[in-house]
Amino acid sequence: MHEIKINGVSMEIVKGNIVKQPDLDAVVNAANAELRTGGGVAGAIHRAAGPELTEETRSLAPIQPGEAVITGGYNLDNDYIIHTLGPVYGRDKPEDKLLKGCYQNSLRVAEDSGLKSIGFPAISTGAFGYPVELAAEVTMEAIKEYLDKINQLQKIRFVLFDKSDYEVYKKAAEKFIQ
């Protein structure tokens, strides 16, 4: 685990599974536009939360790239799930603005709901093909731009599935504090 404290917010980079973060108020789903189950993060979250999640998401779909919506966590260990649709790299443009939107809109939704802690996966870097080094930089820029709007959140955790992605995000986070 790697931790950076900035403006009273603890930013954590961990290697792990997004559905195994029981101490967080919310985790973010790298969703599809229909807010249905899928591969990767969306599959893991829907499987862990159970079918009631799809009942709730049905009325909220479809969403656009960069948008974020909140639901209950159901059988997941977290009280809430924030669903955001990342850009498909090479198709949804400009990719960097849309990816920033995912992070900033998720943070806004979390703040509006009075949440204290949130966990993000590496949105768009799996099935949606965003190169991980670029995604990590854009992610840290998005957080940096949003820091002065944060009042409630005390912890922002980045949960990376792979060791190599963990190293990339750790490096981007270190660059971010300079």
Closest contact distance (angstroms) between CB of 154 and ligand AR6 is 22
The two beta strands, 155-160 and 9-15, are parallel
Nearest CA to 12 out of 20, 2, 22, 21 is that of 2
114 backbone φψ class: left, alpha, beta (φ>0; ψ -120 to 50):
left
Stretch 44-63: interaction string toward ligand AR6, x if CB under 6 A: x-------------------
Nearer to ligand AR6, 43 or 114 (CB): 43
In this chain, which of 107, 121, 166, 172 binds ligand AR6, going by CB under 6 A? Answer: 121
Stretch 155-174: interaction string toward ligand AR6, x if CB under 6 A: ----x-xx--x---------
> Interface with ligand AR6 by CB under 6 A: which range of 66-74, 90-98, 125-133, 140-148?
125-133
Nearer to ligand AR6, 41 or 109 (CB): 41
Three-state DSSP class for residue 139 = helix
In this chain, which of 24, 30, 76, 143 binds ligand AR6, going by CB under 6 A? Answer: 30
Residues 11, 173: contact at Cβ < 8 Å? Answer: yes
Peptide bond into 94 cis (omega under 30): yes
Structure tokens at 46: 């829907």
Nearer to ligand AR6, 114 or 166 (CB): 166
